[in-house]
C-alpha cells in the first residue's frame, strides 16, 4: 500500500509540474500577480510530493520490500543499511527519481528564498523549472516506474553490484546530480532573461550563486567518482577519459567558464549574450551527460537503462530543451544590448580568454567522446578514442589557460597594466621557474613535461598566494593591519584564491602520477619481496576470508622503507553472494607524498601469485586540490553579496553605476 502511495504522489507531482510550467508563464505574460504567485506554491507542492515519493522508495529499500520490483532487482536483505539506502539511486528508476527530487529542491529554493527577485522573473524561472520537471516526471511515470509491484513477492533480492557497495560511490551520484541539475537554474534564468529581453548586473548576481553551487557539487562529485575509480577498480589510475567521465567533465568545464563570465556581466555589464549562451550550453551538456550515461548508448557501470524506448524518450527531451532554448536564443539574443567597452589587455579580456580556452577544451573532449559514437551510428568503422587523443588535445589547450590563471586577478578592469602585473608577480614567477629547474636537474633525462608541469603547478599556487598578499598588503603595512584587511576581505575573494591555489595542487598531483608512477608486475610466493619506488613490499601470507555478503582470500603484505617497517597492507579477492561476482580490494598505503598500491592477482603455474604494485607519487594532491576548490566555492557562496536574492534590482543598478 505504501508503494502505491509513492506512485500516486509521483503522478500528482507530474500534474503539479504541468501547472507550474503553464500558469506562471501566462501570469507573467499578462502581468497577473495572482496567477504568478500560484507558481510559488506549485513549486513548493511539487517538492513535497516528490519528496514523499522518494521517502516511500527509500522506505521500501530499508525494510527490503521485495514485492517492489525495483527493490527486488537491486537490493538484498543482507546488505549493510548504508548500501540499502544508496541502492535507491544505484539503479535507473531510482536515480531518475533522485534527479527530479534534486530539481524540485532547487525549484523549491527559488520559490522560498527568491523573495527579492522581481515576481515576473521568479515566475518565469519557476515555469522553466516546471517544464524540465514535467519532462522528466513524464519519463519516469511512463517508462521507468520505480514502484512496479511483483506478484508473488520473491523472498530474497538480487543484490547491488558489489563494486558499487562503497562509501565514496554511495554519495557520488547525489553530489553529481546536485551539480548537473543545479545548472538547470542558470538555464532557467537564461531562458527567462531571453523571454524578458533583459540581462543586467542584478541578473548576473542572481545567477552566480546557483552556478557556483552547481559547480561546487560537480567538482566534488567528479572528484569522488575519480577517487572511487582509483581505489576500487584496482587499475592504479584515477582518470581514464572514459565517455562517462567525460560526460560529467564537459558540464564542469562550461560551468567554470560561466562562473567567470557572469563576473563580467555583474561588474561591467558586458558579455551578456555570451553568458546567456553559456548558461544554455552548460545545462545542455548536463542533459546530454544524463542521456549518454542513462540511455545505454555507452556501455558502462552507469548504463542501467538498456531499453531503447527509454533512450529515445530522453533523446526527445534533449532535443526539445536544447533545440528550443537555442532557437529562443537565436530569436531573442539580438535584442539584448551590448555592454561596456574594454581593452584586450584587461580583466575582461583575461576572462574572455579564460572562456575561450575552457570552451575549446570542452570542444576537444566533446569531439573525442562523440566522434566514435557518430561514426558507429553511420556504420563507419568501430574505433576507440582513448587517453592519447585527450592528452594530445586537451593538454595543449588547457596549458595556456593555466599559465594565465595567476595573471587574471591582477589585471584591472577596462584597461590592464602589464607592468604593474609584472611588479606584483615576478617573484612568484621566479620561484616557479627555479622549482622547474630543480625538477629538471634531479630528473635530467625525464620527460620535458615534468619540469614544465611542476613549475606551472608552483606558479598557480604562488600566484594565488601573491593575490592574497597583494590584497592584504602583506609586509607592506604592519602585520596587524594586514590581519585586519584579511578579516575584511570579501569571502568570494578568498574563495577565488582558494580555488586557484587548489587547482595548482591538483596539477602537481596529476603531473606527478602521470610521469613518475612506478608500476611493478611480478609473481610472488609467500615470503618473497619486490621493490616499489623507495619501498619494499613483502608477501607475508594468504588467508581465507568471509564477510557479511562475500567470501574470498586475503593477502597480507609488509611494507618497508629501507629497514623501517611502515605498515601491513591487505589486498583481497572477494566473491559476492548472491551474484557470484568477483571483485578485488586494493591494499593501499596513503601518504601525502605518495601511495603504495598493491593488488593481488591470480595464482600462477608454480604456486606463486601475480601481483601488481604501484608507487603513485603525490596522487592525493589531486583530491586534496579538488577539495580545496570545493571549499573555495563554499566560502564564496557564504559571501553576503551573493545570498540568494540578496540584491535588489534597483539598488544594484545604482551600485554598478557608482563603480
Partner 1 sequence: MTRKQKRLTMILGGLAVIGLAIGIILYALSGTITFFHTPSDLTATGVKPGQRIRLGGMVEDGSVKKGTGTETTFAVTDQIKTITVSYNGILPDLFREGQGVVTEGSLKEDGTFVADTVLAKHDENYMPRELAESLKEKGVKLGKGADQ
Nine cell digits for residue 572 = 583481497
**Shortest distance (Å) from residue 473 CB to partner 1:** 33
**Distance, CA of 470 to chain centre:** 31
Question: Quick one: CA dihedral 81, 86, 90, 95, positive or negative?
Answer: positive
205 sits near partner 1 (criterion: CB under 8 A): no
Contact region with partner 1 (CB under 8 A), list: 141-149, 150-158, 448-456, 597-605: 597-605
509 contact partners, CB below 8 Å, separation of at least 6: 618, 619, 620, 621, 622, 623, 624, 625
Q: Using CB under 8 A, which of the segments 36-44, 77-85, 381-389, 440-448 binds partner 1? A: 381-389
Cell numbers at residue 645, please? 536574492
Q: Which of 363, 404, 493, 558 binds partner 1 (CB under 8 A)?
A: 363
306 sits near partner 1 (criterion: CB under 8 A): yes
Q: Sort strands 609-617 and 594-603 into parallel, antiparallel or unpaired.
A: antiparallel
Residues 126 and 110: beta-carbon distance below 8 Å: yes
Minimum distance of partner 1 from residue 448's CB (angstroms) = 18
Of 168-176, 183-191, 555-563, 572-580, the window that binds partner 1 (rule: CB under 8 A) is 572-580
Of 105-113, 205-213, 364-372, 501-509, the window that binds partner 1 (rule: CB under 8 A) is: 364-372
The piece of 197-205, 458-466, 560-568, 574-582 that touches partner 1 (CB under 8 A) is 574-582
Rule CB under 8 A: choose which of 33, 41, 77, 299 binds partner 1: 299
418 is a contact residue toward partner 1 (CB under 8 A): no
Among 13, 280, 586, 611, binds partner 1 (CB under 8 A): 611
**Is the CB of 171 or the CB of 389 nearer to partner 1?**
389
Among 63, 327, 343, 592, interactor with partner 1 by CB under 8 A: 343
- The number of residues that bind partner 1 (CB under 8 A) is 60
Asked if 599 is part of the footprint of partner 1 (rule: CB under 8 A), the reply reads: yes
DSSP 154: P
DSSP class of residue 445 equals T
Q: How far is the CB of 455 from partner 1 (least distance, A)?
A: 22
User: 10 Å Cβ neighbour count for 53?
Assistant: 28
Is 327 a residue that touches partner 1 (CB under 8 A)? no
Nearer to partner 1, 476 or 525 (CB): 525
Question: Is there binding between residue 610 and partner 1 (CB under 8 A)?
Answer: yes
Whether 192 contacts 185, CB under 8 Å: no
DSSP conformational letter for 80: -
Q: Which helix (H) or strand (E) holds 596?
A: strand 594-603
* Distance separating alpha carbons of residues 225 and 172, to the nearest angstrom: 6
CA distance 616 to 232: 15
String marking each residue 508-547 x if it binds partner 1 according to CB under 8 A: -------------xxx------------------------
DSSP 519-587: EEEEEE-TT-EEEETTEEEEEEEEEEEE-SSEEEEEEEEEEEETTEEEEEEEEEEEEETTT--EEEE-E
Determine if the peptide bond prior to 130 is cis (ω within 30°): no
Cα R_g (the chain), whole angstroms: 27
Contacts of partner 1 in 223-262 (CB under 8 A): 233, 235
Using CB under 8 A as the binding rule, the residues of this chain from 386 to 415 that contact partner 1 are 386, 388-389, 392-393, 396-397
Handedness of CA 412, 413, 417, 422 (dihedral sign): positive
Q: Which is nearer to partner 1, 23 or 599 (CB)?
A: 599
Q: Which of 33, 77, 300, 654 binds partner 1 (CB under 8 A)?
A: 300
List residues binding partner 1 (CB under 8 A). Answer: 161, 163, 233, 235, 296, 299-301, 303, 306, 341-344, 349, 352-353, 356-357, 360, 363-364, 367-368, 371-372, 376, 381-386, 388-389, 392-393, 396-397, 521-523, 573, 579-584, 599, 601-606, 608, 610-612
Amino acid at each position: 500500500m505504501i508503494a502505491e502511495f509513492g506512485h500516486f504522489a509521483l503522478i500528482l507531482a507530474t500534474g503539479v509540474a504541468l501547472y507550474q510550467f503553464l500558469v506562471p508563464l501566462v501570469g507573467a505574460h499578462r502581468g497577473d500577480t495572482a496567477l504568478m504567485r500560484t507558481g510559488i506554491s506549485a513549486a513548493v507542492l511539487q517538492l513535497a510530493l516528490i519528496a514523499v515519493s522518494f521517502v516511500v522508495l527509500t522506505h521500501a529499500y530499508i525494510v527490503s520490500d521485495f514485492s517492489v520490483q525495483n527493490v527486488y532487482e537491486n537490493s538484498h536483505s543482507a546488505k549493510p543499511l548504508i548500501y540499502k539506502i544508496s541502492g535507491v539511486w544505484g539503479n535507473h528508476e531510482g536515480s531518475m527519481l533522485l534527479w527530479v527530487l534534486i530539481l524540485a529542491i532547487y525549484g523549491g529554493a527559488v520559490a522560498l528564498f527568491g523573495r527579492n527577485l522581481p515576481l515576473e522573473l521568479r515566475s518565469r524561472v519557476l515555469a522553466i523549472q516546471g517544464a524540465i520537471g514535467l519532462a522528466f516526471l513524464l519519463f519516469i511515470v511512463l517508462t521507468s516506474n520505480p514502484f512496479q509491484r511483483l506478484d508473488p513477492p520473491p523472498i530474497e533480492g538480487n543484490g547491488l553490484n558489489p563494486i558499487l557497495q562503497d562509501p565514496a560511490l554511495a554519495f557520488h551520484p547525489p553530489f553529481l546530480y546536485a551539480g548537473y541539475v543545479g545548472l538547470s537554474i542558470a538555464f532557467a534564468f537564461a531562458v527567462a532573461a531571453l523571454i524578458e529581453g533583459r540581462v543586467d548586473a542584478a541578473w548576473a548576481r542572481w545567477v552566480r550563486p546557483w552556478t557556483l553551487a552547481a559547480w561546487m557539487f560537480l567538482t566534488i562529485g567528479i572528484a569522488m567518482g575519480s577517487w572511487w575509480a582509483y581505489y576500487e577498480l584496482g587499475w592504479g589510475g584515477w582518470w581514464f577519459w572514459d565517455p562517462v567521465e567525460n560526460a560529467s567533465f564537459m558540464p564542469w568545464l562550461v560551468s567554470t567558464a560561466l562562473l567567470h563570465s557572469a563576473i563580467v556581466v555583474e561588474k561591467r555589464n558586458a558579455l551578456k549574450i555570451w553568458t546567456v549562451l553559456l548558461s544554455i550550453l552548460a545545462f545542455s551538456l548536463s542533459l546530454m551527460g544524463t542521456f549518454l550515461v542513462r540511455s545505454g548508448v555507452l556501455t558502462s557501470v552507469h548504463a542501467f537503462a538498456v531499453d531503447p524506448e527509454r533512450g529515445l524518450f530522453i533523446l526527445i527531451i534533449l532535443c526539445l530543451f536544447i533545440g528550443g532554448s537555442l532557437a529562443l536564443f537565436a530569436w531573442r539574443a539580438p535584442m539584448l544590448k551590448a555592454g561596456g567597452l574594454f581593452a584586450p589587455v584587461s580583466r575582461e579580456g583575461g576572462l574572455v580568454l579564460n572562456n575561450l580556452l575552457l570552451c575549446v577544451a570542452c570542444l576537444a573532449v566533446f569531439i573525442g567522446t562523440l566522434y566514435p559514437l557518430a561514426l558507429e551510428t553511420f556504420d563507419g568503422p568501430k574505433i576507440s578514442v582513448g587517453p592519447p587523443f585527450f592528452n594530445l588535445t586537451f593538454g595543449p589547450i588547457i596549458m595556456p589557460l593555466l599559465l594565465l590563471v595567476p595573471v587574471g586577478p591582477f589585471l584591472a578592469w577596462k584597461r590592464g597594466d602589464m607592468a604593474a602585473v609584472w611588479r606584483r608577480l615576478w617573484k612568484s614567477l621566479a620561484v616557479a621557474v627555479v622549482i622547474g629547474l630543480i625538477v629538471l636537474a634531479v630528473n635530467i633525462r625525464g620527460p620535458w613535461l615534468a619540469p614544465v608541469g611542476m613549475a606551472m603547478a608552483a606558479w598557480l599556487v604562488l600566484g594565488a598566494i601573491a593575490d592574497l598578499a597583494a590584497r592584504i598588503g602583506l609586509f607592506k603595512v604592519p602585520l596587524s593591519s594586514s590581519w585586519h584587511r584579511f578579516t575584511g576581505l570579501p569571502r568570494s575573494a578568498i574563495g577565488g584564491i582558494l580555488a586557484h591555489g587548489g587547482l595548482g595542487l591538483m596539477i602537481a598531483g596529476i603531473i606527478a602520477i602521470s610521469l613518475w608512477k612506478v608500476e611493478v608486475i611480478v609473481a610472488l610466493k609467500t615470503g618473497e619481496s619486490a621493490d616499489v619506488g623507495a619501498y619494499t613490499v613483502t608477501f607475508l601470507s594468504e588467508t581465507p576470508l568471509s564477510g557479511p555478503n562475500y567470501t574470498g582470500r586475503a593477502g597480507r603484505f609488509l611494507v618497508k622503507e629501507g629497514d623501517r617497517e611502515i605498515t601491513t597492507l591487505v589486498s583481497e579477492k572477494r566473491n559476492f553472494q548472491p551474484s557470484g561476482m568477483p571483485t578485488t580490494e586494493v591494499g593501499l598505503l596513503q601518504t601525502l607524498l605518495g601511495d603504495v598500491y598493491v593488488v593481488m592477482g591470480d595464482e600462477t603455474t608454480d604456486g606463486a601469485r601475480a601481483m601488481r604494485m604501484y608507487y603513485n607519487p603525490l596522487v592525493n594532491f589531486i583530491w586534496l586540490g579538488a577539495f580545496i576548490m570545493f571549499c573555495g566555492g563554499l566560502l564564496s557562496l557564504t559571501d553576503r553579496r551573493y545570498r540568494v536574492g540578496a540584491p535588489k534590482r534597483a539598488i544594484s543598478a545604482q551600485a554598478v553605476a557608482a563603480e
